[in-house]
Each structure stands twice: as structure tokens, then as C-alpha cells.
Amino acid sequence: MDFMVFQYPMITIQACLDGILLGVLFALIAYGMALQWGVMNIINIAQGDLVILGGYIAYFMYLYGIHPAWGVIVSPIIMYFVGVGIYKLVINKVVDRDLFISILATFGISILFMQLMNFAFGADVVLANSGYGTTFLFDSNVVLPNSKIFSAVVSIVFAICLVIYMKKSKLGRAIRATAQNSRAAKILGVDTEKVYAATFGINAALCGVAGALISITFTIHPYMGLPYTIRSFMIVIVAGLGNLPGVAMSGMGLGVFEEFADYLLGTEFRIGSVFLLLVLILVYRRFKLSRKREYLK
Amino acid sequence: MKIKKIIITFVSAIAILLSTSVVSFAKVVGDKIVLGAAISLTGKYSSNGVHTQNGYNLAVERINSMGGVKVGGKSYKFDIIYYDDESNPKRAAQLAERLISQDGVEFMLGPYSSGLTKAIAPVTEKYGVPMVEANGASRSLFTKGYKYLFAVLAPANLYLDVAIDLAVEKNNGKPVRIAQAFEQDAFSQDVRLGILEAAKRTNSEIIIDDKLPKELNDMAATLVKVKQMKPDVLVVSGHTKGALTAVRQIAEMKVDVPMLAMTHCDAAKLSKQHGKNSQYALCASQWHKSLTYKDKFFGTGMKYAKDFEKQFKYDPPYQSAESSAALLVFKDAFERANSFDQKKVRDALAATNMQTFYGNIKFAPGGQNVDKPMVLFQVMCDDSGKCENKVVAPTKWASAKLIHPIPSWSKR
């Protein structure tokens, strides 16, 4: 254990800010997951792989001399169609089956994507340089890379746009209606098939944005998807479905938690601590649920 | 219907027979010496796996075109059976079994990475198959008492201890304060052991000792600590992702440290991916093309680099060079043994003492090469942003002077 993070207030602030900026990005991925989980009742294990694929799109733009920040526009557009494609090929066959089948199917997609990306782009770790500078705070005791700030801002903008879209647009309303009761929606003339495809597409597009941001702030690699899946799963579990502010809050919370775990336990336990937290929360929920049931009896 | 069934049974019986028995051809067929290798052509090591394969292939072509291997007055040519181990140790061990017991291979070349070599070594040892490997540097490979394993490369614990010596030297012989961050895998942990020994030897103090996860892509916490504690040298080893992440975040967080020492810089294409931000990084390397070792097949390192580039269209990383050297070692051993008897070849390998373009090769009883020091190069960039790796240590091979301490970010 290393308590340095509490001994220097500046490090505490640094850890909190780093965590929040990171958490916003996680929340964006989790939002996509919550959306399609809520609408289609599918847990998408391939979420992280979609993120990485989005990252590669930004990376290739960067390779061809386009600034990778444009990736946050281009990547979601391409990824939307990738998402719709996956839906038409696989997901529509498992959408009304039980959760287990959908987990298996998306797990398969995840493996397929990993191998295809490895095959197509190689196993090298790559990144896109944005060339954004650094922001110094508190007499340069706290440093924030502008790329992280950029990614947090872009994530928030996309999240807000999506919320407005879901509230105001026709498709958004159809999606929400389907989430509430797909049968009723169908009876009232909503083409649920189309809604499902669009939902999965929107989810993939969000992953595309997040991926582009990750290629700018961190590194991407064909096999790095799973940690993002786990994180978004965890955020959704904590926040609950259809609870948007909850997703944002628990995303940031997870970001800060990770940063502190990093300082306290060491970087090697960073992802491990997320898994541990996930288990603890699931156990706690179960415990709470069983108590409630007893009460109802 | 019945006839159809009989035919199917018959055909499948023959297929099974063929698949199990016919493939057993021996290691030396006609004028060919068949070597076996499991290489990572897919999976997470695939890029380095390809570097390894290219190195092997270039050497096979070169040796064959220059008269091959002369054993018992007859000239033989090298041939290699490759299998893809999918970067998976279990698969690698299976393939080694298959190469030896089904394909009848009697001499093996190593796979890529310490982990996979560790998986294969017990198999080759069991069958008494001599294996010359070029990409497994983990020290634990050489302490198990393997008799048939030979590595042309220096063990992992020697990768970066030179850097500590260098830092002490620059500190007028006084001990230094070291910050280190290592991935938790066999290789990086061996590099760490080397640093611990060097620290002990020089009375230096390790003030930060972080471990990095396999999924590493953020090491901000370590760097914040480095910023706060101001060590004299920062050592990072976490394969390519470690090198890339460290350089990106050091530049973004403007971390000033007098010396930054890393591994896997050239595999990570550090100077290409990061440009000027990677400047001044010190990198451990098994080989550099500017070294002045020589042999009659490839000439000098410069010439090797040129030939390699001509054929594969990229600059050879050291992973390719060491792989090529493995073939030169095999050729030399076959000729000295003057036989294809595994025992005799093994003894000849153990007695190897030669120079190749890659470096001097002489094996310790454990199988590691003890005659070739590691080199350190520093990434140096000119004003136009073009970066180059220049050897700065050991002094005997240095082609440029070490820039120390690294200028602070405010002055860059």
C-alpha cells in the first residue's frame, strides 16, 4: 500500500481530475451499452471491440495525414453501419431469445472482431497523436493533457446530443417506446425491427466516438477491448438501465475509483480492482434483493 | 445406400492412416536439412513473429545460395517447416510435439517471446532435440539446466543494467535514485531483477517500484509520483505498449527526468510513432546495425540492414537480426559436428565460439550467449523532426555521445 496519494493534496486533486475525465469517456461507452441493453435486452460483450475498431478508424485517418480529432465525426458514421450490419447478420436472430444466448453470440462476435482486427491491422500497439498541449493548474502542480480534456468534452457533447435526439426525434421516441413495451409499440405501428437495428447502430456509433478518443488519449491494440466491456458493464450495473444521470455519475465514480486504486494498490491492480468492485456490487445487490423479498413475504 | 456407407468408411480409414503415418519424413531428406519452428503468425505477437520468420528466411536463402551446409563432404540446404502457434504457449508446445514426433524434425528453431520459448523448451529437451532460439531472453530459461537449448541473445536481466551504470557514471560515481515500472510478465520481471542487482552494486536507491498490468495503457499514476519524487533515472519495461504509453504520457504531462531507459523501442517504432517526443529516450537493444561485427554471409550490420530492407521493405529490428544469427549458428555447428547425430550437434553447439554480423556468440552452460553485450541507443532528432537511433553505450560501439541530462520540457 502506498498512501502517497493522500499525503500530497496536489496528487489527490490530480487523481480526482484524471479520474473524472476518464470516467466521462467510460460513461459514453456505458451509455451505448445501457441503451441497447434496455431496448433489446442484450448484453453486448463485443462493446469493447467496437470501441477498438472505432479507434482504428481514427488511427488510419491519422496515418493518412488527417487530424485524428476528425475521427470523432467519421468514426461514428462508419461504425453506425457496422453496427447495423452486425444486427442484420447476427443480433436479430438472438434478440428475443434469453440473455444467455445473446451473451454467447456477442462473445463470439467479440472473438471474431479481435482476430479480424489483428489480421487486418496487425498486432502492433498504435496511437494517434493529436498534438494538443498540456494544461497546468495550481502552479503547475497538477497537469492535465489537453487530449484528455478534449475527449471528456466531446463525450459530454455527444451524450447531450443523444439525449436531445432521444427526446425530440421520431426515431428516438420509437426507441423509447420499444424499450418500454415492444409488443405495444409494435401494435401501435412502430417497426421494431428497424428500431432495433437503429439502436444497435447508435450504440456502435457511440463506441466509434469513444474509440477515436481513446486512440488520441491512450493506445489501441486488437486485444484491448475487454477492459472497456467490463467497465461499461459495471457502470450500467451500478446505474441501472435507463438512468442517464446515473450512468454519468457512476462512470465518473469508476474513473476516480480506478485512479485511486492505481495509486493505493499499484497500477497492476487497476483493472483487477474494477473486477473486484463489480463482484462486490453484484453480491451487495443480490443481498439487498433477497432482503427485500423476505420483507415482501 | 450400403455401398455408399462402405465407401465413406473406406475413404475415412485411408484418410486417418495417411494423416498419422505418412508424414513421418526424417530431418535430412536428400540434400535438405529440415528445421522446425513454431512462429506466432497470428495473435498478439504476430508482428514480432513475422520479424522472426523474415530473419530466419533471409538467412536460409543466404546460406543456401552460398553453398549450403557441408557435412561429410556433401553440401546440404536448409529448409524450415513453419507452424503458426497463434501466440499461445499451449499451442506452441503442441506444435513442438507435432514437429518432432509427426514431422520427424530433429532440429528446432525458437519461437518468438520468452513465454513461448518456455513452453517449447521442455518438449525439445524431452526428445533431445537441439533448439537454437533467438527470441526468448527470460533468465529463467537458462537456470533450468536445459541441455539442448541455446540462445543467441543476451539474457533479459542484462537489458538495462548498463543504463544504471551509465547514470552512476554521469553522477560522478555517486549512487542514483531510481524509479522503475515493469510489466508483470517473465521478461520484464527479469529486466527488473537486473536493475535490482545493478542498484545493489552501485548502492543506488529504488524510490519508486511500480508494476504494470498486461492491459496497460495508462501509467499517469506512476508518472505523477515521478514528478513529485524527482528520481535521477526512470526505467520502464512493458513491451511495445509500455514504451509507447510512457513516451506519450511523459510528453503530455511534461515529466522531467534526467534519464529515461526503456525496452522495445524499435519494436514499438517509437521514433516513428512519437517523433520528437521520443527524443533522448535510452533503449536497450540486442543489436544495432551500426555495430561493427562481421561475418562472411551477411558482411556487416549495415549490409544486413540493406539486404533485409531490399527484400522485406522495412528496416530490420533486432528481432530479425538475432533470428538470422540463429541459422548461422546451426550451420557452423553442423559443419563442426560433421554429422547429423543430435548428440554430436548438441555438443558442437555448446562449443560454439564465433562472430556473426549480429555479434559474438559463445554459450554459457545454461545456454545463454555470454559473449555479446547489450547496447543502448538513444533516440536523437534533428531540427526537421527526423529521428534516428544512435548507439551511445557501451563506449566501444558508441556512434554518438550520450545526451545527459535530458533537457527539461520547458526548454525543448
Chain B residue with CA closest to A219: the answer is B217
Whether residue B281 is found in the same domain as residue B166: yes
What is the structure's pLDDT at B21?
46
Whether residue B352 is found in the same domain as residue B397: no
Chain B residue with CA closest to A223: the answer is B44
Whether residue B50 is found in the same domain as residue B120: yes
Chain A residue with CA closest to B212: the answer is A268
Whether residue B36 is found in the same domain as residue B136: yes
Alpha-carbon distance of B18 to A190, in angstroms, equals 60
| Contact list, A118 vs chain B (CB under 8 Å) | 42-44, 46
Check residue B99 and report its DSSP letter. Answer: I
Chain B residue with CA closest to A3: the answer is B225
* Beta-bridge mates of residue B262: B236, B283
Specify the pairing of strand B107-109 against strand B131-133: parallel
Contact A70, A150 (CB under 8 A): no
Question: Does B306 lie at the interface with A, CB-CB under 8 angstroms?
Answer: no
- Between A240 and A76, residue with greater pLDDT: A76
CB contact under 8 A, A123 and B44: yes
Residue B69 lies in a domain: yes
Residue A3 pLDDT grade (very low, low, confident, very high; cuts 50, 70, 90): low
3-state SS, residue B70: strand
Whether residue B169 is found in the same domain as residue B279: yes
Whether residue B60 is found in the same domain as residue B137: yes
Measure A74 CA to nearest chain B CA, in Å: 22
Average pLDDT, rounded, for chain B: 87
Residue B208 lies in a domain: yes
The set of residues, in sequence order, having a beta carbon less than 8 Å from that of A114 and lying 6+ positions away, is A49, A222, A223, A225
Which of B252, B269, B276 is the best mutation test for A, with the most CBs of A within 10 A? B252
Alpha-carbon distance of A210 to A219, in angstroms, equals 12
Total number of domains in chain B? 2
Whether residue B163 is found in the same domain as residue B139: no
CB contact under 8 A, B241 and A219: yes
Q: What is the pLDDT of residues B298-313, one digit of tens each?
A: 999 999 999 999 999 9
Residue B3 lies in a domain: no
**Range name among A171-180, A271-280, B107-116, B355-364 with the lowest pLDDT average:** A271-280
Q: A296 pLDDT exceeds 60?
A: no
Question: Does B87 lie at the interface with A, CB-CB under 8 angstroms?
Answer: yes
φ, ψ for residue B209, nearest 5 deg: -135, 85
**Range name among B86-95, B272-281, B295-304 with the lowest pLDDT average:** B272-281
Alpha-carbon distance of A211 to A75, in angstroms, equals 8
Query: Percentage of residues in chain B with pLDDT exceeding 70?
Result: 95
Helices (H), A169-188: 170-180, 182-187
Whether residue B324 is found in the same domain as residue B345: yes
Which of B40, B44, B53 is the best mutation test for A, with the most CBs of A within 10 A? B44
What is the structure's pLDDT at A1?
55
Whether residue B259 is found in the same domain as residue B396: yes
End-to-end CA distance of chain A: 45
Q: Which domains does chain A have, with CATH numbers?
A: 4-296 (1.10.3470)
Q: Which ipTM did the prediction report? A: 0.80
Alpha-carbon distance of A33 to A47, in angstroms, equals 7
The set of residues, in sequence order, having a beta carbon less than 8 Å from that of B348 and lying 6+ positions away, is B333, B334, B336, B337
Mean pLDDT, rounded, for B259-265: 89
Alpha-carbon distance of A94 to A196, in angstroms, equals 12
Alpha-carbon distance of B228 to B407, in angstroms, equals 18
Closest C-alpha among A257, A7, A137, A125 to residue B253: A137
CB contact under 8 A, B42 and A119: yes
Whether residue B241 is found in the same domain as residue B302: no
What is the structure's pLDDT at B25?
47
Residue B406 lies in a domain: yes
Whether residue B96 is found in the same domain as residue B138: yes
Find the helix or strand (DSSP H, E) in which A281 lies: helix A270-296
CATH of the domain at B401: 3.40.50.2300
Which of A125, A256, A275 is the best mutation test for B, with the most CBs of B within 10 A? A125
Q: What is the pLDDT of residues A202-221, one digit of tens each?
A: 999 999 999 999 999 888 88
Q: B84 pLDDT exceeds 50?
A: yes
Alpha-carbon distance of B400 to A256, in angstroms, equals 44
Rg of chain A on CA atoms, in Å: 20
Give the range of the structural domain holding residue B219, as residue numbers without chain letter: 158-285+374-411
Mean pLDDT, rounded, for B27-35: 81
Q: What is the pLDDT of residues B349-388, one digit of tens each?
A: 999 999 999 999 999 998 999 888 888 888 888 887 788 8
| Residue B382 cell numbers, joined | 534533428
Question: Does A108 lie at the interface with B, CB-CB under 8 angstroms?
Answer: no
Specify the pairing of strand B282-285 against strand B353-356: unpaired
Whether residue B239 is found in the same domain as residue B217: yes
Q: What is the pLDDT of residues A139-181, one digit of tens each?
A: 777 888 888 899 999 999 998 998 899 889 999 999 888 888 8
Residue A30 pLDDT grade (very low, low, confident, very high; cuts 50, 70, 90): very high
Q: Which of B341, B362, B383 is the last residue of a domain?
A: B362
What is the structure's pLDDT at B24?
43
Residue B10 lies in a domain: no
| Contact list, B274 vs chain A (CB under 8 Å) | 129
φ, ψ for residue B276, nearest 5 deg: -65, -25
